[in-house]
Amino acid sequence: MINEQDLESATGTTITTVFTVKALDLAGNDCGHPILSFLDDARFIDEAAANPSLSVLLVSQELAAATGEAVGDQVSIIVVDDPRWHFYTLHNFLAERNPSETEPTVIAPDARVHPSAHVAPFGVRIGSGATIEANATVLASSRIGDGAVIRAGAVIGTSGFEHKRTSRGVLSVVHDGETRIGPRAEVGSLTVVGRGFQRRHTIVGADSRLDCNVMIAHGSQLGERVFVAAGAVLAGSTEIGDDVWIGPGATLIDRVTVGAGARVGIGSVVFRAVDAGMQVLGNPARATTR
């Protein structure tokens, strides 16, 4: 649980409002439990007011009156000079206390780890029969499934591109999730699989195949038997169903979904959801016949 003492310790700001929440999240995300969030843009006041999970809201002095009127007594309003900085500084404070990074790494006795590979000494699990090839890097909070293969030069569990402009300068946001490579999945040479972010793990499902030079950004979740060809980029929190094919050089924007059995053609740029079984091609990607 998170309370006002955590916020004080993280930011150095005196907090007189007493509260307890389960998590931090964006103001519009209804996650089913009490959250603390921030608001620094009037466009999102109505979205925040409609969120039953919102319990505590960090706001600027300029937005305090309008926000308080919109959310009513159900939400505690805390006025701070820079809500974005306070929110992500608190996030970093909590993320850096992640207990999984202090647990010694465990490598199955029959796993094959090349002498030139780097495996973090804490927070990694490598399963039975897994292979980690030359110059691969496996960072903390990574889980490599039984029989999985990490090809030469791949990087598993790196922090993603998440930086915030604040009144106090650029704030880089600590990643706090896991990176899970499923059983018998293969990650190609020089491919990067980002670490999970804001409690959403990055997942590459069982028997999936990632080609060389693929980018899987933080929080993306791939189902089973997903094939991703060379040069493809999956931005943060994409959701890919089972048995999907993603062609060479394709780009999928953050939070886009692709249904089971769909095909994304070479060089396509996917801005909108792709239904199960659909084939799309082009920029922007549009449905085509098989």
Given a contact cutoff of 8 angstroms between Cβ atoms, the answer to whether 244 and 224 are in contact is: no
Among 40, 88, 85, which Cα is nearest to 66's? 40
3-state secondary structure 31-65: CCCCEEEEECCHHHHHHHHCCCCEEEEEECHHHHH
d(Cα 209, Cα 226) in Å, to the nearest integer? Answer: 6
Over its C-alpha atoms, the chain yields an Rg (Å, rounded) of 21
Q: How far is CA 145 from CA 138, 206, 272, in A?
A: 13, 8, 31
- 35 exposed, middle or buried (CB, 10 Å; 0-12, 13-18, 19+)? buried
90: its two tokens: 């608190």
What is the sign, positive or negative, of the torsion defined by CA atoms of 158, 162, 168, 169? Answer: positive
- Please state the separation of Cα 236 from the chain's center in Å: 6
Residues labelled catalytic: 218
Q: How many CB atoms lie within 10 A of CB 13?
A: 16
d(Cα 126, Cα 129) in Å, to the nearest integer? Answer: 9
In angstroms, how far is the first alpha carbon of the chain from the final one? 51
Which region holds residue 96: left if phi is over 0, alpha if psi is between -120 and 50, else beta?
Answer: alpha
